[in-house]
């Protein structure tokens, strides 16, 4: 056993600090770091190395609360797309590259947002090979037939017990539900019946809405750090904005997290491309009015990527519609998944709508503290595209130029063209660090106050936000310098974050 | 469509040792990883095991008392000396291949990757990938699969597509096709020869003149399902396609069992097309049964190599840059390596290639069995896979936990690989045995 080396003690001197939790917005200050934590300025500073941060923007390490980085479907994605995309990067990087690329981007914490309970052990074995980042998984505990049966019989105690046991056994951080009860419709050969949240699940006195309600109750009763993480029904289908609206109504006055809302915000119906459009405005109004709700967007950006989901129904629909090679496993059952390559194109009507709808969501958010920047990696785009997304949000002229290139029908009909909001650096810091840390339930992350993990990213200020955020000057993880100008300098083992259910 | 039987929730629970009855163990004689057998050697009880499985337990228990711990160039040695010799020979080699892997736990495979990366070695499992379509084909045509329990619990039509599992996965039919459904189950075998044992009372064999005829049969069947012109075809194949179509039309859920050697992937391509067309109408999936014998954890090895290297092998150099699919046997046959670290048992043809293609002194083995006959090289005995503690992966994606057996007198492969790696990274690591230049 190699003894642990002493943790570094140093001060980042004179950086321009963005720490939204502590209302520090571009304040020039020092940041003291000792034993992997941020500390108050000590009375005795001897022994602290001085690291000059003058002129650099200092932010907490990024937190990605909704990504797909490990587990069987991610490995399926690697096998399905073994070659690099046109831009030279793998749509689904190896687990080692995932850690290094995230770290080099200034991210230090990541969650895989959909792991079947039966695959939890395998996912953890894979995550053991993920370097640098702290990591966790959300378990699809609501897919378990025993949980569904308990929900149908109204046995909340049994749901709590089963969900708590799944979280403990699978070392999960949160509970994710993907298309609530959707696989039951498939299992019973009624895949087309799953139109709304109020159609009873086959053979059960339980609706998808009821399942969501009881799962969220169990998650809250177990005091899990993150609320129920909801991928609601009808992902990707025209007219599905109503389903998301109904999902939000279900949680009026309560907490819940809505995943990749972009994929659930479409108007139109009957697969009519002409009526396809944005349902964001009424949805954003409702979201803004319900303070218990949080969301991630699942932004689509143009280029090659891989779609992967535990919502087998959505995957099959997309596969049949596109005809691309489709890999699926157990598509009718809990733990099923579907994976396929996809190329998002500016001139595709549907893809252009998806791009515009995602951006519209960000720009209509009244409170960035309730949202996390995401592309639902790799579904909407690779996480390496985050800097581009930040530029689209923070640079209105750049966004306008991009808007001018997309499908003309979308240019004519999308409200995006009329939205001129620009995210400030502080707001981008909220979206990528402070808010996802708070939403995920990580009090020691996403800020730079004493007691926080010394996960810190230093950027060179640049009017080109994509360039600025693509290559941090330095990234620290737990006080260790892990990346410098895009090069990995150290590969500490990150921690696996597992929740401890504490039933009331 | 009428309602289907629900699948038991237990289908999706990991197969945990805690759930095994007393005396039961996981059989690692093939990739089925049967967990319902009873093994009580002292009482001579070997129940619910195939011949191969029972023999593996019998042989192990008979040999346990007389087994050596290690040898160096055929002479008995202690484990530490053998590990030191292994490290020295591997370090002195120009290009090492790490292979075997298929009867290690997942934890063992990750340790093997660590060793390969330390050595800058190539790493590839010793599975005959030329016999099945493997990685490149999935990227071209996809793959629609399901757990074996889904086949057992739902498929009222099981089509054996040119493959009889009796050899590769001996108890597959008994465990996953023979159990009754609440409604009749039909089985059809398509192939040159009939199945050795008919898997159901309602079984039909549709004979083909040649193995490759199944490619045309898939084309005809797909055309029928999509209601497209089929083009010309021999009458016998057209009749077979019609018979399949008729059975499919009467079915609620279709499982297609594949696994015949298919180096070009045409058969796989055809089957995926059929399954994809079927899946628009009803639950339908393929159950691929490759790499059964000699490769109980081939799926686990492939999974680890894929998340480490993005492919099921890393041939240029094991490391974070990623890898490519390749055959261990090709690296040996082409002289691309001058030393080999063999982990676990090898298929006979790979073993033979190594014995003729590599200097015997440069062959390092960590395996339960000593090499046959007089031999040079280094061998260190490790536990049988079924005596290990760790995780295995069935080819259908289900994890299987090993809780350790009764025989822990031999070290685990994981511990030996950790010791080997420690030796390799030691700063005073000599380039030759005994530190002589």
What confidence tens digit (pLDDT) does each residue in A135-183 have?
Answer: 999 999 988 889 999 999 999 999 999 999 999 999 999 999 999 988 8
* Chain A 272-291, residues with CB within 8 Å of chain B CB atoms: none
pLDDT surpassing 50 at residue B317: yes
**What number of CA atoms fall less than 13 Å from residue A91's CA on the CB side?**
31
- B322 with B425, same domain? yes
- Domain termination residue (choose one: B258, B288, B318): B288
Instruction: Please identify among residues 194-223 of chain A the ones whose CB lies closer than 8 Å to any CB of chain B.
Output: 202-203
In a domain, residue B38? The reply is no
Tens-digit pLDDT profile for residues B331-366? 888 888 999 999 999 888 888 888 888 899 999 999
Q: Kindly state whether residue B180 falls inside one of the protein's structural domains.
A: yes
Closest CB from B14, B282, B322 relative to A118: B14
Mean per-residue pLDDT, B15-27:
53
Compare all CA atoms of chain A with the CA of B397 and give the residue at the minimum distance.
A72
In this prediction, residue A192 has a pLDDT band, given cuts at 50, 70 and 90, of low
Asked if the C-beta of A121 comes within 8 angstroms of chain B's C-beta atoms, the answer is: yes
> Directed axis angle between helix A280-289 and helix A349-364, to 10°?
30
Cβ atoms of residues B296 and B33 within 8 Å: yes
Q: Which residues of B touch A330 (CB under 8 A)?
A: 145-147, 150, 397
Task: Kindly state whether residues B334 and B425 are assigned to the same domain.
Answer: yes
Which whole-number Å values give the CA distances from A55 to A12, A21, A387, in the listed order?
11, 22, 20
Residues B195 and B84 in one domain: no
Query: Is B199 part of a structural domain of the chain?
Result: yes
Chain A nearest C-alpha distance from B402 (Å): 13
A82 vs B393: CB contact, 8 Å cut-off? no
**What is the pLDDT, as a whole number, of residue B11?**
34
Element (H, E) at A166: helix A156-170
pLDDT tens digit string along B125-159?
Answer: 887 655 565 556 788 888 899 999 999 999 999 99
Select the residue of B106, B146, B312 nearest A330 (Cβ to Cβ): B146
At residue A491 the predicted structure's pLDDT band, cuts being 50, 70 and 90, is very high
The pLDDT assigned to B22 comes to 47
The answer to whether residue B254 scores a pLDDT higher than 70 is: yes
Which one has a higher pLDDT value, B368 or B322?
B368
Is 60 exceeded by the pLDDT of residue B17? no
Residues B122 and B204 in one domain: no
Query: Does B101 share its domain with B205?
Result: no
Which residues of B are less than 8 Å from A334 in CB distance?
9, 12
Q: Contacts of residue B150 in chain A, CB cutoff 8 Å? A: 330, 332-333
Going by C-alpha positions, the residue among B265, B266, B284 that lies closest to residue B275 is B284
Is A94's CB within 8 Å of B307's CB? yes
pLDDT in tens, B261-279: 887 888 888 999 999 999 8
Q: Are the beta carbons of A121 and B399 separated by less than 8 Å?
A: yes
Among chain B residues, CA nearest to A328: B144
Portions of chain A given CATH number 3.20.20.140: 62-440
Q: Are residues B343 and B422 in the same domain?
A: yes
Q: What is the pLDDT of residue B6?
A: 33
Pick A352 or B406 by higher pLDDT. Answer: A352
pLDDT for the residue numbered A217: 97
Q: Is residue B48 part of a domain?
A: no
Residue B226: per-residue pLDDT: 93
Residue B372 clears pLDDT 50, i.e. is over it: yes
> Which of B109, B322, B397, B419 is best to mutate for the A interface (most A CBs within 10 A)?
B397
Q: How far is B413 from chain A (nearest CA, A)?
A: 17
Q: Give residue-wise pLDDT tens across range B41-94.
A: 777 788 889 999 998 888 877 766 556 789 999 999 999 999 999 999 999 999
| CATH code given to domain A9-60+446-488 | 2.30.40.10
Quote the pLDDT of residue A5: 60
pLDDT score at B135? 57
All residues of chain A having their beta carbon less than 8 Å from the beta carbon of residue B399 are: 118-119, 121-122
pLDDT at B301 over 70: yes
Q: Average pLDDT, whole number, for chain A?
A: 94
Kindly report the average pLDDT of chain B as a whole number. Answer: 85
Domain count, chain B: 2
- Facing residue for A82 by CB, picked from B13, B146, B310: B310
**pLDDT score at A398:** 98
Test B14 with A121 for CB contact under 8 angstroms.
yes
Interface A-B, measured as beta-carbon pairs within 8 A, has a size of 152
Q: What is the per-residue pLDDT for B404?
A: 82
Q: Give per-residue pLDDT as tens, A212-240.
A: 999 999 999 999 999 999 999 999 989 99
Distance from CA of B88 to the nearest CA of A (A): 22
CB contact under 8 A, B320 and A122: no
Task: Express as a percent the part of chain A with pLDDT over 90.
Answer: 83
For A327, the closest of B142, B146, B401 (CB atoms) is: B142
Instruction: Look up residue B371 and give its two tokens.
Output: 């090499």
For residue B328, the model assigns a pLDDT of 76
Residue B12 to residue A334, Cβ atoms within 8 A? yes
Residues B89 and B199 in one domain: no
Q: Are residues B403 and B278 in the same domain?
A: no
Q: For residue B148, which residues of chain A lie inside 8 Å, CB to CB?
A: none
The Cα-based distances of A153 to A38, A149, A228, B296, B336 in angstroms read 49, 6, 20, 41, 63
Q: Within an 8 Å CB–CB cutoff, is residue A264 touching chain B?
A: no
Examine the pLDDT at A44 and tell me if it is beyond 60: yes
Cβ(A403)–Cβ(A331) under 8 Å? no
A4 touches B: beta carbon within 8 Å: no
Looking at chain A, the domain(s) classified CATH 2.30.40.10 span 9-60+446-488
CB contact under 8 A, A128 and B1: no
Collapsed DSSP state (helix, strand, coil) of residue A288: helix
For residue B278, the domain's CATH number is 3.40.228.10
For A429-478, how does the pLDDT look when each residue is reduced to its tens digit (9 = 90+)? 999 999 999 999 999 999 999 999 999 999 999 999 999 999 999 999 99
Instruction: Output the pLDDT for position B424.
Output: 97
Residue B368 scores a pLDDT above 50: yes
Instruction: Reply yes or no on whether the pLDDT at B15 is more than 50.
Output: no
Residue B320 — very low, low, confident or very high, per pLDDT cuts 50/70/90? Answer: low
| Residue of A73, A81, A94, A327 to mutate, testing the B interface (most B Cβ within 10 Å of its Cβ) | A94
Considering only alpha carbons, which residue of chain A is nearest residue B255?
A: A330
Does B143 share its domain with B118? no
What does the pLDDT read at residue B352? 86
Within this chain, do residues B140 and B282 fall inside the same structural domain, yes or no?
yes
Domain A62-440 annotated CATH 3.30.2320.20: no
Whole-structure pTM value: 0.93
Of B288, B322, B337, the residue that ends a domain is B288
| Rounded Cα–Cα distance for residues A114 and A315 (Å) | 14
Last residue of a domain, one of B265, B288, B311: B288
- Residue B188 is predicted with a pLDDT of 98
Same domain, B239 and B337: no
Distances (CA, A) of A227 to A67, A289, B143, B423: 17, 18, 34, 47
- B3-14 pLDDT, tens digit per residue, is 333 333 233 333
Average pLDDT over residues A292-317: 92
pLDDT tens per residue across span B167-219: 889 999 999 999 999 989 999 999 999 999 999 888 999 999 998 999 999 99
Does residue A93 belong to the interface with chain B, where contact is any CB pair within 8 Å? Answer: yes
Residues of A in Cβ contact (< 8 Å) with B281 = none
- Which residues does B278 contact at the CB level (< 8 Å), separation at least 6? B225, B248, B254, B284
Span B256-263, average pLDDT: 88
Beta bridge partner(s), residue B186: B157
> What is the predicted pLDDT for the residue at B243?
97
Is residue B62 helix, strand or coil? helix
pLDDT of residue B14: 35
Same domain, B198 and B300: no
pLDDT value at B434 more than 50: no
Q: Which CATH number covers residue B106?
A: 3.40.50.740
Are A96 and B308 a contacting pair at CB < 8 A?
A: yes
In a domain, B329, yes or no: yes
Domain containing B242: what range? 134-288
The yes-or-no verdict on residue B24 having pLDDT over 80 is: no
Does residue B388 belong to any structural domain of this protein?
yes
Q: Nearest-CA neighbor of B217 among B256, B171, B250?
A: B256
Residue in A128, A132, A189, A200 to test binding to B, most B beta-carbons within 10 Å? A189
As a whole number, mean pLDDT of residues B376-398 equals 93
Domain annotation covers residue B23: no
E strands, A360-473, are 371-372, 456-459
Say which residue, A291 or B261, is predicted with more confidence: A291
């Amino acid at each position: 056993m190699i003894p642990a080396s002493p943790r570094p003690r140093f001060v980042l001197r004179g950086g321009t600090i963005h720490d939204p939790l502590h209302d520090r917005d571009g304040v020039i200050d020092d940041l003291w770091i000792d034993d992997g934590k941020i500390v108050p300025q000590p009375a005795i500073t001897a022994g602290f190395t001085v690291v000059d941060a003058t002129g650099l923007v200092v932010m907490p390490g990024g937190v990605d609360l909704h990504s797909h980085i490990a587990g069987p479907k991610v490995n399926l994605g690697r096998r399905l797309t073994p070659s690099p995309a046109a831009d030279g990067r793998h749509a689904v990087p190896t687990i080692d590259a995932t850690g290094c690329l995230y770290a080099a981007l200034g991210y230090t914490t990541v969650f895989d947002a959909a792991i079947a309970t039966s695959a939890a052990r395998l996912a953890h074995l894979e995550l053991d090979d993920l370097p640098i980042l702290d990591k966790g998984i959300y378990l699809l505990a609501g897919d378990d037939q025993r949980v569904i049966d308990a929900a149908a019989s109204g046995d909340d105690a049994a749901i709590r017990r089963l969900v708590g046991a799944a979280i403990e056994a699978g070392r999960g951080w949160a509970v994710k539900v993907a298309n609530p009860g959707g696989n039951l419709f498939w299992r019973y050969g009624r895949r087309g019946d799953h139109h709304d949240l109020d159609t009873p699940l086959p053979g059960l006195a339980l609706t998808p809405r009821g399942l969501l309600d009881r799962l969220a109750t169990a998650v809250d009763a177990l005091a899990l750090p993150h609320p129920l993480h909801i991928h609601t029904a009808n992902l990707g289908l025209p007219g599905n904005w109503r389903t998301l609206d109904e999902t939000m109504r279900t949680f009026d006055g309560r907490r819940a997290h809505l995943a990749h809302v972009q994929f659930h915000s479409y108007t139109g119906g009957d697969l009519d491309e002409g009526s396809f459009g944005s349902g964001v405005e009424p949805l954003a109004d409702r979201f803004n009015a319900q303070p218990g709700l949080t969301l991630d967007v699942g932004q689509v950006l143009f280029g090659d990527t891989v779609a992967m989901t535990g919502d087998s129904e959505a995957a099959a629909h997309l596969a049949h519609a596109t005809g691309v090679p489709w890999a699926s496993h157990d598509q009718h059952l809990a733990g099923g998944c579907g994976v396929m390559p996809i190329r998002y194109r500016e001139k595709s009507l549907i893809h252009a709508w998806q791009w515009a709808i995602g951006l519209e969501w960000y720009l209509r958010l009244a409170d960035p503290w309730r949202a996390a920047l995401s592309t639902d990696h790799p579904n909407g785009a690779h996480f390496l595209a985050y800097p581009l997304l930040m530029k689209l949000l923070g640079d209105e002229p750049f966004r306008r130029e991009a808007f001018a290139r997309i499908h003309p029908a979308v240019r004519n009909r999308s409200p995006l063209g009329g939205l001129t909001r620009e995210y400030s650096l502080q707001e981008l810091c909220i979206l990528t660090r402070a808010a996802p840390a708070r939403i995920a339930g990580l009090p020691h992350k996403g800020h730079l106050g004493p007691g926080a993990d010394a996960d810190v990213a230093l950027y060179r200020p640049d009017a080109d936000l994509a360039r600025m955020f693509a290559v941090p000057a330095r990234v620290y993880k737990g006080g260790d310098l892990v990346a410098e100008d895009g090069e990995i300098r150290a590969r500490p083992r990150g921690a696996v974050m597992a929740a401890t259910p504490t039933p009331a | 469509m009428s309602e289907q039987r629900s699948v038991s929730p237990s289908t999706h629970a990991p197969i945990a040792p805690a759930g095994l009855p007393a005396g039961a163990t996981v059989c690692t004689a093939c990739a089925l990883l049967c967990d319902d057998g009873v093994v009580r050697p002292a009482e001579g009880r070997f129940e619910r095991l195939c011949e191969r499985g029972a023999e593996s337990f019998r042989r192990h228990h008979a040999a346990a008392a007389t087994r050596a711990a290690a040898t160096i160039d055929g002479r008995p040695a202690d484990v530490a000396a053998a590990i030191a010799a292994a490290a020295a020979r591997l370090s002195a080699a120009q290009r090492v291949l790490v292979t075997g892997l298929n009867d290690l736990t997942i934890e063992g495979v990750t340790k093997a990757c660590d060793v390969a990366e330390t050595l800058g070695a190539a790493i590839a499992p010793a599975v005959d990938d030329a016999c099945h379509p493997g990685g490149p084909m999935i990227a071209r045509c996809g793959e629609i699969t399901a757990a074996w329990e889904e086949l057992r619990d739902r498929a009222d039509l099981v089509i054996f597509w040119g493959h009889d599992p009796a050899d590769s996965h001996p108890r597959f039919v008994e465990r996953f096709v023979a159990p009754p459904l609440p409604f009749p189950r039909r089985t059809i075998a398509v192939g040159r020869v009939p199945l050795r044992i008919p898997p159901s009372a309602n079984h039909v064999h549709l004979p083909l003149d040649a193995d490759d005829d199944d490619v045309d049969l898939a084309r005809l069947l797909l055309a029928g399902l999509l209601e497209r012109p089929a083009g010309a075809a021999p009458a016998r194949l057209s009749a077979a396609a019609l018979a399949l179509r008729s059975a499919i039309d009467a079915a609620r859920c279709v499982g297609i069992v594949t696994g015949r050697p298919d180096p070009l992937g045409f058969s796989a391509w055809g089957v995926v097309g059929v399954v994809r067309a079927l899946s628009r109408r009803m639950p339908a999936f393929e159950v691929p049964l490759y790499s059964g014998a000699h490769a109980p954890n081939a799926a686990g090895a492939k999974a680890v190599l894929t998340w480490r290297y993005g492919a099921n092998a890393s041939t240029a150099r094991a490391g974070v840059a990623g890898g490519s699919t390749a055959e261990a046997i090709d690296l040996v046959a082409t002289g691309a390596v001058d030393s080999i670290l063999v982990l676990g048992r090898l298929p006979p043809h790979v073993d033979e290639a190594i014995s003729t293609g590599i200097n015997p002194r440069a062959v390092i083995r960590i395996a339960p069995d000593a090499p046959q006959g007089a031999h040079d090289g280094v061998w260190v005995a490790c536990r049988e896979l079924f005596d290990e503690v760790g995780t295995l992966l069935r080819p259908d994606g289900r994890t299987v936990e090993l809780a350790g057996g009764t025989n822990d007198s031999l070290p685990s492969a994981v511990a030996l690989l950790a010791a080997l790696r420690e030796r390799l990274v030691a700063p005073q690591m000599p380039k030759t045995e005994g530190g002589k230049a």
